[in-house]
Amino acid sequence: MHLRPRRLRQDAPMRRLTAQTRLHPAQLVLPMFVTEAPEPRPIGSMPGVQQHSLDSLRRAAVAAAETGIGGLMLFGVPDTRDACGSGADDPDGILNRATAALAAEVGDALVVQTDLCLDEFTDHGHCGVLDDVGRVDNDATLERYVSMALAQAEAGSGLLGLSGMMDGQVAAVRAGLDAAGHTDIPLLAYAAKYASAFYGPFREAVDSALTGDRRTYQLDPANRREGRREAALDVEEGADVVMVKPALSYLDVLADVAAASPVPVWAYQVSGEYAMIEAAAAQGWIERDRAVAESVLSIVRAGAEVVLTYWAEELAETLNRGEGL
């Protein structure tokens, strides 16, 4: 008997038939940035990605919805910031206005999702409020998260993305929403969010004011078991979905969480992952389209049921044309 695995690789139809991992546009979520500026602005470190105006965001959201992607994740970039991030729960703040606009425009076609974190709204750039000695105050921050959650729910968000990595954030937000009658709003917990170097371009995208780092609340890149533990805690607190972030450098953590989680597991292909592929492709060092598709496919293969990626719309169009990945 001759064992010949190559029989199942011999041509494109056979490879398509026997593929063990598949992508669908509904598995893709497009992160989007909205500012109070009258015109969109390109983000230099993320070619092809923009800081949108409210008008350009609406147009881009409609175009994205037409590709059949599963959702949009909104990040607000306000003109003014303060120590407590007061723009985060202001009904007239840019994120909440954008949420209401997109919920009305495309909310029946995809899930309009909102980032629930203070870093874009604070003048110090941290994900929470600071105490008297400059440390992030976990419990005081939870109060701000609850207020932010209520504002986003009232604006029409279909899913809240808790990305701040405060202990107890899922339980606090769930309790706050339920008490206010918002029992149907699902929570996406950024459960295993690591203190990564791959967030660099995102800092430009949100005009980050961060000084220092976030290592006291985001996970240590050296720790694998801690990712599983954080995901389990968030599930216990009532998370409807858990997230691993970044994706490509943490495929082991993603696989661990996916193997153990009783709720859906998503992953975020972050700005630095996007920028590296775009930069290498621009130099002619890699084949761009294949690298883009392979990178997202690998995240799904490792266990992600949904991927947040800046290539969501492009990949969906590729899939809709029937082109294999």
Q: For position 293, what pLDDT does the model report?
A: 96
Q: How far apart are CA 86 and CA 48, in angstroms?
A: 31
Phi–psi pair at 241, nearest 5 degrees: -145, 145
| Assigned superfamily of 24-320 | Aldolase class I (3.20.20.70)
Q: For position 244, what pLDDT does the model report?
A: 98
**C-alpha of 261 from chain center:** 19
Alpha-carbon distance values, 285 to 210, 252, 274, 291 (Å)? 33, 27, 15, 11
Q: How far apart are CA 143 and CA 176, in angstroms?
A: 9
Q: For position 324, what pLDDT does the model report?
A: 60
Residue spans of the domains in the chain: they are: 24-320
Sign of CA dihedral 98, 168, 218, 186: negative
The rounded average pLDDT for each run of 10 residues, N- to C-terminus, in the chain (325 residues) is 91 93 97 96 94 97 98 96 94 98 98 96 91 93 98 98 96 98 98 93 79 86 97 98 97 98 98 96 97 97 98 97 75
Q: Which residues are catalytic?
A: 193, 245
Give the tokens for residue 166. Answer: 């405060």
* Residue-wise pLDDT tens digits, 255-271: 999 999 999 999 999 99
* Residue-wise pLDDT tens digits, 142-168: 999 999 999 999 999 999 999 999 999
Q: How far apart are CA 40 and CA 57, in angstroms?
A: 9
Sign of CA dihedral 220, 202, 124, 266: negative
Q: For position 166, what pLDDT does the model report?
A: 93
Q: For position 145, what pLDDT does the model report?
A: 97
Mapped to the 3 state alphabet, what secondary structure does the chain carry?
CCCCHHHHHCCHHHHHHCCCCCCCHHHEEEEEEEECCCCCEECCCCCCCEEECHHHHHHHHHHHHHCCCCEEEEEEECCCCECCCHHHCCCCCHHHHHHHHHHHHHCCCCEEEEEECCCCCECCCCCCCECCCCCECHHHHHHHHHHHHHHHHHHCCCEEEECCCCCCHHHHHHHHHHHCCCCCCCEEEEEEEECCHHHHHHHHHCCCCCCCCCCCCCECCCCCHHHHHHHHHHHHHCCCEEEEECCHHHHHHHHHHHHHCCCCEEEECCHHHHHHHHHHHHCCCCCHHHHHHHHHHHHHHCCCCEEECCCHHHHHHHHHCCCCC
Cα atoms found within 13 Å of the Cα of residue 31, Cβ hemisphere only: 22
Q: How far apart are CA 174 and CA 180, in angstroms?
A: 10
Query: Are the beta carbons of 68 and 320 closer than 8 angstroms?
Result: yes
